[in-house]
Protein backbone atom coordinates (compact mmCIF):
# COMPACT_ATOMS: atom_id res chain seq x y z
CA UNK A 1 0.00 0.00 0.00
CA UNK A 2 1.42 3.36 -0.97
CA UNK A 3 0.59 7.04 -1.18
CA UNK A 4 -1.14 9.23 1.37
CA UNK A 5 -3.84 6.64 2.10
CA UNK A 6 -1.25 4.03 3.03
CA UNK A 7 0.64 6.59 5.08
CA UNK A 8 -2.36 7.43 7.27
CA UNK A 9 -3.24 3.78 7.76
CA UNK A 10 0.33 3.00 8.81
CA UNK A 11 0.90 6.06 10.98
CA UNK A 12 -0.77 4.73 14.18
CA UNK A 13 1.58 1.74 14.10
CA UNK A 14 4.55 4.05 13.59
CA UNK A 15 3.46 6.13 16.60
CA UNK A 16 3.25 2.99 18.75
CA UNK A 17 6.70 2.02 17.51
CA UNK A 18 8.08 5.42 18.52
CA UNK A 19 6.49 5.15 21.97
CA UNK A 20 8.21 1.80 22.47
CA UNK A 21 11.54 3.21 21.34
CA UNK A 22 11.13 6.18 23.66
CA UNK A 23 10.53 3.91 26.65
CA UNK A 24 13.44 1.66 25.75
CA UNK A 25 15.73 4.67 25.33
CA UNK A 26 14.77 6.00 28.78
CA UNK A 27 14.70 2.72 30.68
CA UNK A 28 16.71 0.17 28.72
CA UNK A 29 19.79 -1.59 30.06
CA UNK A 30 20.98 -3.62 27.09
CA UNK A 31 24.06 -2.28 25.23
CA UNK A 32 23.54 -0.19 22.13
CA UNK A 33 26.72 -1.59 20.55
CA UNK A 34 28.57 -4.91 20.73
CA UNK A 35 32.02 -5.98 19.59
CA UNK A 36 32.30 -7.17 16.02
CA UNK A 37 29.68 -5.00 14.39
CA UNK A 38 30.29 -2.14 11.95
CA UNK A 39 30.84 1.47 12.97
CA UNK A 40 27.62 3.48 12.64
CA UNK A 41 27.85 7.26 12.62
CA UNK A 42 25.22 10.01 12.68
CA UNK A 43 24.93 13.65 13.65
CA UNK A 44 22.28 15.95 15.07
CA UNK A 45 21.94 19.63 15.82
CA UNK A 46 19.78 22.22 17.53
CA UNK A 47 16.31 21.20 18.65
CA UNK A 48 16.56 17.89 16.77
CA UNK A 49 18.95 16.58 19.43
CA UNK A 50 15.94 16.30 21.78
CA UNK A 51 14.43 13.57 19.62
CA UNK A 52 17.43 11.84 18.05
CA UNK A 53 17.51 9.18 20.79
CA UNK A 54 14.49 7.60 19.06
CA UNK A 55 16.46 7.01 15.84
CA UNK A 56 19.45 5.85 17.91
CA UNK A 57 17.29 3.33 19.76
CA UNK A 58 15.90 1.93 16.51
CA UNK A 59 19.49 1.22 15.42
CA UNK A 60 20.46 -0.22 18.81
CA UNK A 61 17.53 -2.66 18.76
CA UNK A 62 18.50 -4.10 15.40
CA UNK A 63 19.17 -7.80 14.90
CA UNK A 64 22.73 -6.81 14.05
CA UNK A 65 24.08 -4.19 16.43
CA UNK A 66 26.87 -1.72 15.66
CA UNK A 67 30.37 -2.32 16.96
CA UNK A 68 30.41 1.40 17.68
CA UNK A 69 27.47 3.79 17.59
CA UNK A 70 28.63 7.41 17.47
CA UNK A 71 26.59 10.60 17.62
CA UNK A 72 28.51 13.72 16.56
CA UNK A 73 27.47 17.13 17.91
CA UNK A 74 28.98 20.44 16.83
CA UNK A 75 28.02 22.37 19.97
CA UNK A 76 29.57 21.45 23.32
CA UNK A 77 26.73 23.27 25.12
CA UNK A 78 24.33 20.55 23.98
CA UNK A 79 26.16 18.05 26.18
CA UNK A 80 24.88 19.77 29.29
CA UNK A 81 21.26 19.49 28.16
CA UNK A 82 20.95 15.99 26.74
CA UNK A 83 17.59 14.27 26.73
CA UNK A 84 16.99 11.56 29.29
CA UNK A 85 17.06 9.03 26.47
CA UNK A 86 20.50 10.09 25.26
CA UNK A 87 21.92 10.07 28.77
CA UNK A 88 20.66 6.55 29.29
CA UNK A 89 22.03 5.48 25.90
CA UNK A 90 25.42 6.91 26.86
CA UNK A 91 25.47 4.60 29.87
CA UNK A 92 24.70 1.73 27.48
CA UNK A 93 27.59 2.48 25.14
CA UNK A 94 26.48 5.31 22.84
CA UNK A 95 29.46 7.54 22.12
CA UNK A 96 28.60 11.24 21.92
CA UNK A 97 31.51 13.22 20.53
CA UNK A 98 32.06 16.89 19.79
CA UNK A 99 33.25 17.83 16.30
CA UNK A 100 33.74 20.94 14.22
CA UNK A 101 30.64 22.10 12.37
CA UNK A 102 30.85 20.55 8.91
CA UNK A 103 27.11 20.88 8.32
CA UNK A 104 25.63 17.62 6.99
CA UNK A 105 29.16 16.29 6.42
CA UNK A 106 29.46 15.97 10.21
CA UNK A 107 27.60 12.68 9.76
CA UNK A 108 30.74 11.02 8.38
CA UNK A 109 33.73 13.37 8.12
CA UNK A 110 34.87 13.42 11.78
CA UNK A 111 34.73 9.60 11.75
CA UNK A 112 36.90 9.57 8.62
CA UNK A 113 39.45 11.92 10.19
CA UNK A 114 39.57 10.06 13.51
CA UNK A 115 40.54 6.70 12.04
CA UNK A 116 37.67 4.82 13.67
CA UNK A 117 36.14 4.18 10.25
CA UNK A 118 39.23 2.70 8.60
CA UNK A 119 37.51 -0.67 8.15
CA UNK A 120 34.37 0.89 6.70
CA UNK A 121 31.53 3.10 7.87
CA UNK A 122 27.74 3.10 7.95
CA UNK A 123 25.94 6.44 8.10
CA UNK A 124 22.45 7.02 9.44
CA UNK A 125 20.14 9.99 9.91
CA UNK A 126 18.93 11.36 13.24
CA UNK A 127 15.26 11.48 12.21
CA UNK A 128 14.65 8.02 10.76
CA UNK A 129 13.08 4.89 12.24
CA UNK A 130 15.29 2.00 11.18
CA UNK A 131 13.71 -1.49 11.01
CA UNK A 132 15.15 -4.44 12.92
CA UNK A 133 16.93 -5.96 9.90
CA UNK A 134 18.29 -2.62 8.65
CA UNK A 135 21.95 -3.06 9.54
CA UNK A 136 22.12 -6.80 8.86
CA UNK A 137 20.73 -6.43 5.33
CA UNK A 138 23.02 -3.49 4.66
CA UNK A 139 26.08 -5.48 5.76
CA UNK A 140 25.00 -8.54 3.77
CA UNK A 141 24.76 -6.37 0.66
CA UNK A 142 28.15 -4.83 1.44
CA UNK A 143 29.71 -8.31 1.74
CA UNK A 144 28.29 -9.18 -1.68
CA UNK A 145 29.62 -5.91 -3.17
CA UNK A 146 32.90 -5.27 -1.31
CA UNK A 147 34.14 -2.48 -3.56
CA UNK A 148 30.86 -0.58 -3.79
CA UNK A 149 28.99 2.04 -1.86
CA UNK A 150 25.77 0.33 -0.74
CA UNK A 151 22.55 2.23 -0.09
CA UNK A 152 18.92 1.55 0.67
CA UNK A 153 17.89 4.52 -1.43
CA UNK A 154 19.42 6.19 -4.46
CA UNK A 155 18.41 8.38 -7.35
CA UNK A 156 19.43 7.64 -10.90
CA UNK A 157 21.28 10.51 -12.53
CA UNK A 158 19.67 11.16 -15.91
CA UNK A 159 20.44 13.40 -18.85
CA UNK A 160 18.18 16.10 -20.25
CA UNK A 161 17.21 16.73 -23.88
CA UNK A 162 20.47 18.61 -24.42
CA UNK A 163 22.61 15.75 -23.15
CA UNK A 164 23.52 17.53 -19.93
CA UNK A 165 22.80 16.33 -16.39
CA UNK A 166 19.09 16.79 -15.70
CA UNK A 167 17.82 18.76 -12.71
CA UNK A 168 17.99 16.83 -9.46
CA UNK A 169 14.23 16.80 -8.88
CA UNK A 170 13.81 15.04 -12.25
CA UNK A 171 16.00 12.08 -11.29
CA UNK A 172 13.92 8.96 -10.62
CA UNK A 173 14.65 6.66 -7.72
CA UNK A 174 17.03 3.90 -8.70
CA UNK A 175 15.96 0.32 -9.27
CA UNK A 176 17.92 -2.92 -9.59
CA UNK A 177 21.02 -4.22 -7.84
CA UNK A 178 23.48 -3.60 -10.67
CA UNK A 179 26.31 -1.33 -9.42
CA UNK A 180 26.27 1.91 -11.40
CA UNK A 181 28.02 5.25 -11.56
CA UNK A 182 24.62 6.79 -12.29
CA UNK A 183 23.27 5.64 -8.91
CA UNK A 184 23.39 8.61 -6.55
CA UNK A 185 23.11 7.38 -2.95
CA UNK A 186 20.93 9.43 -0.63
CA UNK A 187 21.71 9.17 3.05
CA UNK A 188 18.18 9.09 4.48
CA UNK A 189 17.76 5.33 4.71
CA UNK A 190 21.39 4.47 5.45
CA UNK A 191 24.57 3.98 3.42
CA UNK A 192 27.59 1.71 3.84
CA UNK A 193 31.04 2.85 2.67
CA UNK A 194 33.92 0.37 2.23
CA UNK A 195 37.37 1.04 3.66
CA UNK A 196 38.74 2.08 0.26
CA UNK A 197 36.10 4.81 0.07
CA UNK A 198 37.11 6.02 3.53
CA UNK A 199 40.70 6.35 2.26
CA UNK A 200 39.47 8.36 -0.73
CA UNK A 201 37.45 10.69 1.49
CA UNK A 202 40.37 11.25 3.85
CA UNK A 203 42.75 12.07 1.00
CA UNK A 204 40.44 14.87 -0.21
CA UNK A 205 40.01 16.42 3.22
CA UNK A 206 37.46 19.19 3.62
CA UNK A 207 37.45 20.25 -0.03
CA UNK A 208 33.66 19.91 0.05
CA UNK A 209 33.49 23.22 1.93
CA UNK A 210 34.19 25.13 -1.29
CA UNK A 211 31.72 23.33 -3.55
CA UNK A 212 29.10 21.33 -1.63
CA UNK A 213 28.99 22.60 1.96
CA UNK A 214 25.29 21.75 2.37
CA UNK A 215 25.08 18.67 0.15
CA UNK A 216 26.98 15.73 1.60
CA UNK A 217 25.32 13.33 -0.87
CA UNK A 218 26.76 15.33 -3.78
CA UNK A 219 30.30 15.25 -2.42
CA UNK A 220 30.10 11.58 -1.49
CA UNK A 221 28.95 10.69 -5.00
CA UNK A 222 31.72 12.79 -6.52
CA UNK A 223 34.42 11.11 -4.42
CA UNK A 224 32.95 7.68 -5.20
CA UNK A 225 33.04 8.46 -8.93
CA UNK A 226 36.56 9.87 -8.83
CA UNK A 227 37.89 6.91 -6.83
CA UNK A 228 36.18 4.18 -8.85
CA UNK A 229 33.43 3.21 -6.41
CA UNK A 230 30.08 2.43 -7.97
CA UNK A 231 26.83 2.55 -6.02
CA UNK A 232 24.43 -0.36 -5.58
CA UNK A 233 21.17 -0.94 -3.73
CA UNK A 234 20.35 -3.29 -0.88
CA UNK A 235 17.05 -4.23 -2.53
CA UNK A 236 15.84 -4.20 -6.11
CA UNK A 237 14.05 -0.91 -5.43
CA UNK A 238 14.95 2.19 -3.44
CA UNK A 239 13.49 2.22 0.07
CA UNK A 240 12.46 5.18 2.23
CA UNK A 241 11.90 4.52 5.92
CA UNK A 242 9.48 6.29 8.24
CA UNK A 243 10.61 9.43 10.02
CA UNK A 244 10.33 10.55 13.63
CA UNK A 245 7.34 12.85 14.11
CA UNK A 246 8.11 16.53 14.51
CA UNK A 247 11.58 16.47 12.95
CA UNK A 248 10.95 17.60 9.38
CA UNK A 249 10.48 21.35 9.83
CA UNK A 250 13.60 23.00 8.47
CA UNK A 251 15.02 19.72 7.18
CA UNK A 252 17.87 20.11 4.71
CA UNK A 253 15.91 18.45 1.90
CA UNK A 254 13.54 21.43 1.72
CA UNK A 255 16.31 23.80 0.69
CA UNK A 256 18.45 21.39 -1.31
CA UNK A 257 15.63 19.95 -3.40
CA UNK A 258 12.87 22.54 -3.16
CA UNK A 259 15.14 25.50 -3.81
CA UNK A 260 17.45 23.70 -6.28
CA UNK A 261 20.50 24.05 -4.02
CA UNK A 262 21.49 20.51 -4.99
CA UNK A 263 21.76 21.57 -8.64
CA UNK A 264 23.99 24.52 -7.71
CA UNK A 265 26.30 22.33 -5.65
CA UNK A 266 26.40 19.59 -8.28
CA UNK A 267 27.52 22.18 -10.83
CA UNK A 268 30.14 23.55 -8.44
CA UNK A 269 31.46 20.07 -7.63
CA UNK A 270 31.43 18.55 -11.09
CA UNK A 271 33.54 21.12 -12.91
CA UNK A 272 33.30 20.91 -16.74
CA UNK A 273 35.95 18.22 -17.36
CA UNK A 274 34.65 15.96 -14.61
CA UNK A 275 31.05 16.64 -15.60
CA UNK A 276 31.85 15.50 -19.14
CA UNK A 277 33.49 12.33 -17.77
CA UNK A 278 30.43 11.57 -15.65
CA UNK A 279 28.07 12.16 -18.58
CA UNK A 280 30.15 9.79 -20.72
CA UNK A 281 29.88 7.06 -18.09
CA UNK A 282 26.12 7.57 -17.75
CA UNK A 283 25.72 7.24 -21.52
CA UNK A 284 27.85 4.11 -21.51
CA UNK A 285 25.74 2.55 -18.77
CA UNK A 286 22.57 3.37 -20.70
CA UNK A 287 23.94 1.63 -23.80
CA UNK A 288 25.00 -1.42 -21.78
CA UNK A 289 21.60 -1.53 -20.13
CA UNK A 290 19.77 -1.48 -23.45
CA UNK A 291 21.98 -4.31 -24.77
CA UNK A 292 21.05 -6.52 -21.83
CA UNK A 293 17.37 -5.56 -21.73
Of 274, 127, 132, 269, residue with least CA distance to 207: 269
CA angle, residues 246, 103, 109, in degrees to nearest 5: 115
In the chain, the percentage of residues whose pLDDT exceeds 70 is 91
Phi, psi of 188 (to 5 degrees): -45, -50
Helices (H), the chain: 3-27, 52-60, 84-91, 109-114, 134-144, 195-204, 216-226, 252-256, 261-269, 272-291
Q: Give the bridge partners for 69, in sequence order.
A: 40
Q: What is the mean pLDDT of residues 160-170?
A: 97
Q: What is the mean pLDDT of residues 208-212?
A: 98
Q: What is the pLDDT of residues 100-153, one digit of tens each?
A: 999 999 999 999 999 999 999 999 999 999 999 999 999 999 999 999 999 999
Q: Domain total for the chain?
A: 1
Mean pLDDT over all residues of the chain? 93
- Per-residue pLDDT band for 185 (boundaries 50, 70, 90) equals very high
Residue 154 has pLDDT above 90, yes or no: yes
pTM comes to 0.92
What is the Cα 190 distance to its own chain's centre? Answer: 4
| d(C-alpha 170, C-alpha 167), whole Å | 5
Q: What is the pLDDT of residues 226-284, one digit of tens each?
A: 999 999 999 999 999 999 986 655 545 544 555 589 999 999 999 999 999 999 999 99
In the three-class reduction of DSSP (H, G, I as helix; E, B as strand; rest coil), residue 287 is classed as: helix
Q: What is the pLDDT of residues 67-79, one digit of tens each?
A: 999 999 999 999 9
Q: What is the largest CA-CA distance in the chain?
A: 59
Q: What pLDDT is attached to residue 8?
A: 67
Q: What pLDDT is attached to residue 75?
A: 95
Domain of residue 140: give its range: 3-291
- CATH code for the domain of 179: 3.90.550.10
Amino acid sequence: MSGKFGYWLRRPLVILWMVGLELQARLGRSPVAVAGGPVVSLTSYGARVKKCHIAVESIARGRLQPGKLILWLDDAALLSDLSRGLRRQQSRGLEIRIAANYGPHTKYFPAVLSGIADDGLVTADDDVLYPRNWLRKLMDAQSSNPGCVVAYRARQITLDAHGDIAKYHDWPFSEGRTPRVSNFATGHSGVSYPSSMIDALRSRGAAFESCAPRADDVWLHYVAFESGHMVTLVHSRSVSFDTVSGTQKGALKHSNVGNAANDEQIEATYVPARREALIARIRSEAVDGSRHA
